Structure 1
Amino acid sequence: MVDMTTVRRAVLTVPAAPLGPDNPLPALRLLGGTPTPAVDARDRAGLPRDMARQLGHAPLRTLLPTRVRDGYGRDRTPTDLDTIVIENDRLRVTVLPGLGGRVHSLLHKPTGRDLVYRNPVLQPAAFALNGAWFSGGIEWNIGAHGHGPLSCAPLHAAVVPAPDGGPMLRLWEWERLRDLPFQVDLWLPDGAEHLRVAVRIRNPHARAVPCYWWSNTAVPEDRRVLAPADSAWHFGYERTLRRVPVPRSADGADHTYPLRSAHAADYFYALADGRRRWTAALGEDGTGLVQTSTDTLLGRKLFLWGTARGSRRWQEWLTEPGTPGYAEIQAGLARTQLEHPPLEAGEEVSWLEVYGPLGADPAAVHGADWGAAGASVEDELERILPRAEVDTAYARWRAHAADTEPGPLLATGSGWGALEVLRDAHVLPGTPFPPELLGEEQRPWAELLRTGGLPDAPESEAARWTTPVNDAWRDLLESAAPAGPSTEYHLGIAQWAAGDLAQAVRSWERGLKNATERWPLLFCLAVADRESGHPMRAAERFAEAYDAQRRTGDPLVAAALAREAVPALLAAHRADRARRILDRLPEEVRARGAFRYLAARLLLAEGRKDEARAVFDAGFEVADLREGAEELGETWARITDEPLPDAYEFRMRPPE
């Protein structure tokens, strides 16, 4: 037994697929924003004002400055993960500081139950905004609509005195999509059964910044999910937003039982103003997890996978076959994840969340009376954790702990926050980003600050530098001297991120005139051609970029350019050129699932349908298949009228 709360390092061994290297190419693809969803006229009239204003507000143009994390595979081996354990005599909380600060497990010691869905494996999949993500536990999402770019990235971690004087774990980082520093403080008072989590997001800039936060908890999908709402906004993969009753949707299914719905969907609960914010996932016996918060964390959501073939395949994809599935209960700053409320210049937003066990009358929880089910949970929550107690705990944290400087680092994140503080001398009590955190990735940009120019380095090396793209860095690059090919390359990336696409193309074209290493600039120009509706020219430039990189001998660059060039050439009906690229790749690259799929597409384009079918029959797995991807099914349909095999069924929309 642990009589007093402790915070300690530990190691967790799980079967894991290595994350591998990031994609070496800049993430230039235009996202088109998060399209404003279609809203029925009757529902539109009933939208809250802030929700109507914030739907589709300030969407991301690109994923810059982040890199896409797609270097992982599907082969898992036992792997030691560094963890930080927060423990008292009631709960054991296991945190993964190197993987977004994810709470991997929340063990209720008196019952021996994990209150969250604990994934038995670590299998990256392309669910995060920038690629790699994994399921399970409690994750912290900041940035924009979706799983955040720090899902599989390290955070800084240290111990800070909690408001009650015990130890508190602080996690913090600088989120680069929106350029916002944030912190997550976790603590367990002695004898407490509920984990306290205080979050703060700061805007140190002289301009308003779109803000986004959703805390995402995976729970076993055989639970009933309850929240204090009689209606919800349903958002499915048809990209329509419509108001539906709770618990039954328009199709008659009781979506509060995730396994009773056929298709994957989000349900954003319409909580009345003034109501206590909470959600719970409870089993047949009425016990399970409850999450509540101070009122700033406005939204509550259920995500369910459903029972359709594609949904079950995704559940299998994210863990081990035969393992029970999960649903997600989430809490966010806005009513839906399609909103990005502004955080004004110099302002901050903070709140307190609480996670822990709750048991209510199972007859009420699972009864036909939805109002009585919610009341039974809310009454029990108020008994074990009064709303006033949560508000008081937040006030004490804000007054006595939020700004306290942390002790020695237990884990180290990135140096990007230190670079921003070096550039603009931001003062951020409680979340230090000292110069000692600067690393090799930040070295070229620290030199730009110091000297007014980028370091003298081979162009192939400079192309691997990750470009900071906010307005200040763009200004520095515009005045950098000398303005050689590498400077023009990075300036163009910053201009592209800002939406100045024409100027970005001019910068890349200037750089290309004197470049000795042409592939980085050719790649950028190819993307610009593709995004501006010139597929033939884009295909030619992608192919030229691939040919130009061959003398560098970098297999990572070769594979990344081939994955761009081959689809572009197929779209331009240049199967002959695509064949030359694919056949030049090393055998170990062509054996990967993504390239086996490209080979099938190429065979189909060459009219060799039987050979394309043979690739599918032999089997392959595209490790970084995107959530909701339908392309495997579409390619299969061009080969045969036979039903799509389960191994390739990832469709999540209802059939049209």
Structure 2
Amino acid sequence: MSELRLTTLTLPTAPVGPVNPLPPLFAGADLHEVADATEADEEMRRNIGYGRVPSVMPYLVQDGYARDLTPAEHPVAVLENDTLRATFLLGSGGRLWSLVHKPTGRELLFRNPVFQPANLALRNAWLAGGVEWNIGTIGHAPTTCEPLHAARAVRPDGTPVLRMWEYERIRGVIFQIDAYLPDDSPVLLVHVRITNPRDTTVPMYWWSNIAVPEAPDVRVLAPADAAWQFSYDRRVRRVGLPAPDGTDLTRTTLSPDAADYFFDVPDGDRHWVTALDGTGRGLVQASTERLRGRKLFLWGRGAGGRHWQQWLSGPGRAYLEIQAGLARTQLEHLPMPAGARWSWVEAYGLLEAEPGAVHGDDWAAARGAALAGLYDLVPQSVLDRELADAEAWLDTEPIETLSRGSGWGALEQHRRAVSGEPPLPAAGTPFPDTTTGAEQAPWFELLDHGRITSADGTPAPPSYQTDPVWEPLLQAADGWLAALHLGTLRAHTGDHEGAARAWRRSVALHPTAWAWRSLGALARRTGRPQEAVRAYREALRLAPALLPLVLEGADVLLAAGVPKEALAHLEALPAAQRALGRVRLAEARAALDAGDAERCGRLLDEGIEVADIREGEGSLHELWFAHRRALGNHSPDAELPGAYDFRMLSAGAAG
């Protein structure tokens, strides 16, 4: 009997924490910037150059977490039938955290034993494990560590449905995830629909990222003879499968470096990907036709890749990712026409295939064995029928609210009503006014009264807008806060001169750290370092204890060649903040630049743990080697402490 229930899951947890109040004006986009796409075909090159965003705005960065774990309860929804039990983290993007095959007791996913955010997402905070739903723009989604709206719905046959949805602010679209387990289904079914309510085409992106356990006997298979490789040199290459350079990339424990492999699935073939162990068993993901892309991500066996795995989930717990997306690669956006609705069905379950064939030397035979097992598990006709039948119930109103998401959909619904635009098509995905709060309050005031008020500029603005539809309203409003927001919106759209004018007006009306910092960030972005220094000095004068501002200001001062001034700001912080890893890193860098190699070395020897070290960030190992060079000691890579090694490529050139 299929059921849906709410419960809690207790995990050792580092809370995501508060957002950074400084808007990421020119930062926060993904690492997937392509330096060389000459080997890509015309379609891929066109999509790679389309739809890029300058930052993750209007979202704010989630970097308020640490690495201290304490037990905490997380709300979860559980779908269950006689074969599978699926657990979803409602407070973390609706992530499918666990999928258990009940007859065997086997966990099909990599179920992370800890809740430890790390800096891999567009907004910084990201979790390893399970199945993550990514929408909008390239990278781990802005909603990955946010609660979604969730409710109970029911199919016409009585099957309970876990419905999750949200209004995605970068693209201005609605996404809806309906997960269900019919009584006799051997697979979890997930119907996804994206709705573009706008009257313009928008760039679109979706990838379902699936973490599964990694082991020497695990092999990844997909219906392709070639793959598009993309690694941290940012070059796209087409490679043959399974062993383009003599190393079988489908056996991930053999690969030295982290890399992405996007399977080049021929048109007309069934869309699936699987990771099978030595017995020929493991998770398979399959879908209807629209979800075209399939990918393998691996961390590699290098010291940096192993360190990342431990950083995310603790020692001795390795995983790889198999993924599925709208485009052929994660380097691309697709144009989604005005008013379009895109839907597909995904299936997740235990695949069983003949192990000798799966792990044999004949790649075609290995793929064929996996495909035969997939047809035994779930024929393509079943998924196609589910997609067609879902049209009858996708827009039915949910019958019970399970959790609340953001108030941004409700605000957009109100904006449309005020402007006379058609409402959001939200019958099955309602956005009630009761979901709104402090983040949306200024924008309701602007819509209803033509102003945004603030007492004295001391509290940080709780939210920002980057959609051009808000620009006329901000232009018509008076006051320093409206001018601040107008500058932020203009900066995002690339109107740097207009942004500077608005921020200067904001400062003239009422000087705040927020406007001065924005002027400094713009000057830094446009190559005017001395102007940036002047603006950050004003911002720091107004908010000397604001940690994110002190760290940004220190970077600016170091770049301008005044490390002692940067040290003075860092030293003025309270002791608790000075103990933070990001502050200690800034202090060590400033000390080295100021000629105090001893102080830098002492900090390095004591240990610097940066909770939000970024994927691809080289600050720790670069500082280590820079300090050694300052001492006249050109140490070999082997002397780099493991705690400082987050390198994604093999050691060698990094020092």
Deviations, residues 299-335 of structure 1 (Å, cap 9, x unaligned): 00000001011111101110112x2211100000000
Deviation at 1:162, TM superposition (A): 2.5
Paired residues of 1:34 and 1:59 also in contact (CA < 8 A): no
Paired residues of 1:162 and 1:187 also in contact (CA < 8 A): no
Alignment counterpart, residue 643 of structure 2, candidates 621, 641, 647: 647
Paired residues of 1:92 and 1:108 also in contact (CA < 8 A): yes
Deviation at 1:539, TM superposition (A): 2.2
Equivalent-residue separation in structure 1 for 2:468 and 2:8 (angstroms): 41
Paired residues of 1:15 and 1:121 also in contact (CA < 8 A): yes
Deviations, residues 231-289 of structure 1 (Å, cap 9, x unaligned): 00000000000000111133x21110111100000000000000000001111110010
Deviation at 1:439, TM superposition (A): 1.6
Amino acid at match of 2:446: L
Matched, 1:635 2:623: yes
Residue matched to 1:9: 6
Equivalent-residue separation in structure 2 for 1:525 and 1:39 (angstroms): 33
Paired residues of 1:33 and 1:60 also in contact (CA < 8 A): no
Closer, same or farther in 2 for the Cα pair 1:89/1:368, shift >3 Å? same
Deviation at 1:30, TM superposition (A): 4.6
Residue matched to 1:115: 108
SS of the residue 1:441 aligns to: coil
Equivalent-residue separation in structure 1 for 2:197 and 2:508 (angstroms): 39
Closer, same or farther in 2 for the Cα pair 1:508/1:296, shift >3 Å? same
Closer, same or farther in 2 for the Cα pair 1:151/1:232, shift >3 Å? same
Matched, 1:232 2:232: no
Alignment counterpart, residue 534 of structure 1, candidates 503, 522, 528: 528
SS of the residue 1:116 aligns to: coil
Equivalent-residue separation in structure 2 for 1:32 and 1:166 (angstroms): 40
SS of the residue 1:400 aligns to: coil
Please identify, of 290-299 and 631-640, the stretch whose mean Cα deviation from structure 2 is larger: 631-640
Alignment counterpart, residue 570 of structure 1, candidates 523, 546, 558: 558
Superposed counterparts of 1:41-120, under 5 Å: 41=38, 43-44=39-40, 47=41, 49-120=42-113
Please identify, of 9-18 and 50-59, the stretch whose mean Cα deviation from structure 2 is larger: 50-59
Deviation at 1:186, TM superposition (A): 0.1
Closer, same or farther in 2 for the Cα pair 1:392/1:32, shift >3 Å? closer
Amino acid at match of 1:266: D
Closer, same or farther in 2 for the Cα pair 1:168/1:317, shift >3 Å? same
Amino acid at match of 1:286: G
Equivalent-residue separation in structure 2 for 1:509 and 1:372 (angstroms): 67
Paired residues of 2:10 and 2:72 also in contact (CA < 8 A): yes
Closer, same or farther in 2 for the Cα pair 1:232/1:600, shift >3 Å? same
Residue matched to 1:280: 274
Equivalent-residue separation in structure 2 for 1:580 and 1:518 (angstroms): 21
Paired residues of 1:170 and 1:186 also in contact (CA < 8 A): yes
Please identify, of 420-429 and 443-452, the stretch whose mean Cα deviation from structure 2 is larger: 420-429
Alignment counterpart, residue 248 of structure 2, candidates 254, 260, 268: 254
Residue matched to 2:500: 505
Superposed counterparts of 1:196-345, under 5 Å: 196-222=189-215, 223-250=218-245, 252-321=246-315, 323-345=316-338
Paired residues of 2:254 and 2:301 also in contact (CA < 8 A): yes
Equivalent-residue separation in structure 2 for 1:596 and 1:139 (angstroms): 33
Deviation at 1:608, TM superposition (A): 1.2
Deviation at 1:34, TM superposition (A): 6.9
Closer, same or farther in 2 for the Cα pair 1:33/1:15, shift >3 Å? closer
Deviation at 1:628, TM superposition (A): 1.3
SS of the residue 2:151 aligns to: strand
Alignment counterpart, residue 579 of structure 1, candidates 545, 567, 572: 567
Residue matched to 1:489: 484
SS of the residue 1:318 aligns to: helix
Residue matched to 1:549: 543
Matched, 1:180 2:198: no
SS of the residue 1:460 aligns to: coil
Equivalent-residue separation in structure 2 for 1:290 and 1:304 (angstroms): 17
Equivalent-residue separation in structure 1 for 2:386 and 2:558 (angstroms): 59
Equivalent-residue separation in structure 1 for 2:51 and 2:293 (angstroms): 19
Equivalent-residue separation in structure 1 for 2:313 and 2:227 (angstroms): 29
Paired residues of 1:34 and 1:56 also in contact (CA < 8 A): no
Equivalent-residue separation in structure 2 for 1:504 and 1:451 (angstroms): 24
Matched, 1:421 2:413: yes
Equivalent-residue separation in structure 2 for 1:320 and 1:487 (angstroms): 46
Paired residues of 1:17 and 1:74 also in contact (CA < 8 A): yes
Equivalent-residue separation in structure 1 for 2:553 and 2:406 (angstroms): 32
Amino acid at match of 1:345: A
Superposed counterparts of 1:297-446, under 5 Å: 297-321=291-315, 323-397=316-390, 399-424=391-416, 425-446=423-444
Deviation at 1:518, TM superposition (A): 2.0
State how many pairs are aligned.
Answer: 636
TM-score by length of structure 2 reads: 0.95
Equivalent-residue separation in structure 1 for 2:533 and 2:263 (angstroms): 45
Alignment counterpart, residue 472 of structure 1, candidates 469, 473, 485: 469
Deviation at 1:489, TM superposition (A): 0.4
Closer, same or farther in 2 for the Cα pair 1:132/1:408, shift >3 Å? same
SS of the residue 2:439 aligns to: helix
Percent identical residues: 45
Deviation at 1:164, TM superposition (A): 3.7
Equivalent-residue separation in structure 2 for 1:32 and 1:105 (angstroms): 29
SS of the residue 1:520 aligns to: helix
Unaligned runs of 5+ in 1: none
Equivalent-residue separation in structure 1 for 2:562 and 2:37 (angstroms): 43
Please identify, of 536-545 and 279-288, the stretch whose mean Cα deviation from structure 2 is larger: 536-545
Residue matched to 1:20: 17
Equivalent-residue separation in structure 2 for 1:539 and 1:38 (angstroms): 31
Matched, 1:168 2:161: yes
Deviation at 1:366, TM superposition (A): 0.4
Deviation at 1:140, TM superposition (A): 0.1
Paired residues of 1:36 and 1:56 also in contact (CA < 8 A): no
Amino acid at match of 2:146: A
Matched, 1:621 2:617: no
Amino acid at match of 1:567: D
Paired residues of 1:290 and 1:355 also in contact (CA < 8 A): yes
TM-score by length of structure 1 reads: 0.95
Amino acid at match of 1:97: L
Unaligned runs of 5+ in 2: 417-422, 629-633
Paired residues of 1:284 and 1:362 also in contact (CA < 8 A): yes
Deviation at 1:541, TM superposition (A): 1.7
Closer, same or farther in 2 for the Cα pair 1:22/1:40, shift >3 Å? closer
Deviations, residues 210-236 of structure 1 (Å, cap 9, x unaligned): 100000000111221100000000000
Deviation at 1:58, TM superposition (A): 1.6
Residue matched to 2:420: none
Deviation at 1:394, TM superposition (A): 1.1
Paired residues of 1:85 and 1:94 also in contact (CA < 8 A): yes
Please identify, of 408-417 and 447-456, the stretch whose mean Cα deviation from structure 2 is larger: 447-456
Equivalent-residue separation in structure 2 for 1:284 and 1:587 (angstroms): 53
Paired residues of 2:453 and 2:481 also in contact (CA < 8 A): no
SS of the residue 1:144 aligns to: coil
Paired residues of 2:454 and 2:481 also in contact (CA < 8 A): no
